[in-house]
Amino acid sequence: MPPTARGANTRHPGAAAFVGLLIVLAVAALIVSNMFFVVKTVAVQGNSFCTWEEILALSGIRPGDSMFSIDTNKVREGINANRYLSYVGLLREFPSHVTVLVEEHAPRAMLPSMGMLVLIGADGFVLEESPDIGMPLQVPTITGAQADRIRVGYPVIYSQAGQGAAAEAILDVLDSFGAASEVSELNVGALDNLYLITEDGLQVMLGSGQGMREKIALMMMLLPMLRENAEVRGGVLDVTSGITGDFRPPRRAQ
């Protein structure tokens, strides 16, 4: 039997009440999320060269943003726009903390070449070539070398074979000791007579590239004692043996 007109227009109070309840709950959830699930703190992991403030600005995340409204695609695009960074991920720690994960392509050294300054990252890759690096850097300057080819995104091709490998080997050891900021200059002009100059003006003779880890370790062990007991600027520390160090104090003006 077909339904009557009255039957077709029959309302279901229970269903209407249920829909109304859902709407109320949805509005309440929205209000609660906007009040309680908001970004209050942001941390960054994986950076050492770029600052927390720089990465936060690139991410576009702001305190007070809803934890649910963060657009990871926009965060990725913003961070990847910086040539020194790659976006790795984002962690939401409810109710109000966010951690941005990045991988950094930080400069490890600087090479003067033909009136330009070249920033060099891991494996000798060129990060930037510019007449003026508009940022303070605490990285060694590579001296005693000339480049045949410099191209951003590719390793430096040096005029003398072996100079790039020698520089990278020394930089690797310095990084492993957290000592790169101790060094202002790395000279690779003669591969059997490599040397460093520290930030406070001490020349450290390394000799050949053999046993470099032992030589740098010896340098790092001796530096605090020398600085405490002697004037090091203009002096020479010979660690070519990797076993003992020979310190020659700076010459006094007659």
pLDDT digits (tens, 9 = 90+) for 159-181: 999 999 999 999 999 999 989 98
Q: Do 115 and 231 share a structural domain? A: yes
Is a pLDDT exceeding 80 seen at residue 254?
A: no
Q: What is the structure's pLDDT at 3?
A: 53
Q: Is the pTM of this model over 0.75?
A: no
Pick 29 or 18 by higher pLDDT. Answer: 18
- Is 113 found in the same domain as 97? no
Pairing between β-strand 203-207 and β-strand 157-158 as defined by DSSP bridges: unpaired
Specify whether 64 is located in the same domain as 99: yes
Look at 41 and 14; give whichever has higher pLDDT.
41
Banded pLDDT at 35 (limits 50, 70, 90): low
Determine, yes or no, domain membership for 18: no
The last residue of one of the domains, among 81, 104, 127, is 104
Q: Over 60: is that where the pLDDT of 253 sits? A: no
For residue 66, the domain's CATH number is 3.10.20.310
- What whole-number distance in Å separates Cα of residue 222 and Cα of residue 204? 11
Q: What is the chain's alpha carbon radius of gyration, rounded to the nearest angstrom? A: 30
Label the pairing between strands 85-93 and 97-104: antiparallel
pLDDT, averaged across the chain: 86
Residues 42 and 125 reside in one and the same domain: no
The distance of Cα 27 from the centroid of its chain, to the nearest Å, equals 43
Which of 85, 104, 123 is at the close of a domain? 104
The predicted-structure confidence for 118-163, as pLDDT tens digits, reads as follows 999 888 889 888 887 766 678 899 999 999 999 988 899 999 999 9
| Co-location of 150 and 44 in the same domain | no
10 inside domain:
no
Residues 82 and 205 in one domain: no
Q: How confident is the model at residue 34 (pLDDT cuts 50, 70, 90)?
A: low
For the cut 70, the answer to whether the pLDDT of residue 235 exceeds it is yes
Q: Which pLDDT value is given to residue 156? A: 93
Domain assignment of residue 219, given as a range: 109-248
* Residue 164 and residue 177 share a domain: yes
